[in-house]
A = this chain, B = another copy of it.
Amino acid sequence: MVGSLGLDTVQTPFDKVENALGGSAVYISLASSYFGGSVDLVGVVGTDFPSKYIKLLEDHSVDLEGLQIVEGKTFRWAGKYHYDLNVRDTIYTELNVFEKFDPVVPEKFRKAKFICLGNIDPVLQLKVLDQMENPQFVVCDTMNYWIEGKREELIKLLPRANVLIINDSEARLLANEPNLIRAARKIREMGPEILVIKKGEHGALLISDEFIFSAPAYPLEMIYDPTGAGDSFAGGFTGFLHRAQDITPDNLKSAVIYGSSMASFCVEKFSTKGLEDLSYLQIQDRYREFMKLSRFNESE
């Protein structure tokens, strides 16, 4: 997996943290670390990146051979969430060492079959994918920033992705189509067989040729920090499929629920705290809670 590692300054109506661990690669790694496979991370940090964060990732069995530590400052992002946590302002984004990041996939990572391209510049996602020997299942995350700013590069990447994960407003933006189901069809025509649409408090949709799956959201009375929810989803989704090894409709549906479970743990605490000390048992319990939420009886 590839993505960003950063130091996030986040303010919500409830609290504020400065220079906390963040970045798409971090959330993906932590979320997928609970599914038992090896998590091979490709990314970059500056020399100011705290060693305790390196240790945290190592403690979660994340293989950091693909992590470049280069002279300079680590990527930084600051954001502020409003009373309505669905609205967020970016205060600043400092690319720092990320600006010249040229991802190199270590030799021993290149045979990996399951690839998760975290939310970064599609040019970098392509560079990573080009180094892989025989990728069999490619999950790609992106966001409005790239859809608007690097549309052409993203369009080039899409035919090489098996799954694209985006949120609902991004799906409408990418397809230029307000109806989500029609938007999904248009996007799947751009390349990915499977589209996953994250809808935050409204759950998620998985759309393939054969079926549509609608997953509920976990009903949280208190969301402390929405940062990283989408990345945690991608990590849980890919992690479970890597564990299952078999891309069946049933496993894809379960992967959406495991992804949603990881996202729900993520937003319950600040920064990466919600993903640091979980057990697989807790994750399975949450999976079962999703089932209770959405099960109903056969009709008469």
Contact = CB atoms under 8 A, between A and B. Distances in A.
Contacts of A207: 219
A293 interface: yes
Interface string A155-197: 0000000000000000000000011111001000000000000
Interface stretch (A108-116, A120-128, A250-258): A250-258
Interface string A237-267: 0000000000000100110110000000000
A213 B297 contact: no
Given A178-B85, A288-B299, A296-B291, A217 B214 contact: yes
A79 interface: no
A84 interface: yes
B178 A83 contact: yes
B179 A294 contact: no
Contacts of A294: 213-216, 294
Contacts of A284: 299-300
A85 B180 CA distance: 11
B291 A298 contact: yes
Contact of A180 (B185, B201, B295): B201
**Size bracket of the A interface:** 35 or more
Contacts of A70: none
A69 interface: no
Interface string A277-300: 000000010011001111111111
Nearest to A286: B299
With most chain B CB atoms within 10 A of its CB, the pick from A213, A219, A287, A292 is A219
Interface of A: 83-86, 178-182, 185, 199, 201-203, 205, 207, 211-217, 219-223, 250, 253-254, 256-257, 284, 287-288, 291-300
Given A179-B223, A214-B294, 10 more contacts: A85-B179, A86-B178, A180-B219, A181-B221, A182-B222, A211-B292, A253-B295, A253-B297, A256-B296, A291-B298
Top 6 closest pairs, chain A to chain B, by CB: A214-B216, A202-B202, A84-B178, A253-B296, A287-B299, A181-B219
27 contacts: A179-B221, A179-B223, A181-B219, A181-B220, A185-B221, A202-B203, A203-B214, A205-B219, A212-B293, A213-B293, A214-B216, A216-B216, A250-B297, A253-B296, A253-B297, A254-B296, A254-B297, A254-B299, A257-B296, A287-B299, A288-B298, A288-B299, A291-B296, A291-B298, A291-B299, A294-B294, A295-B295
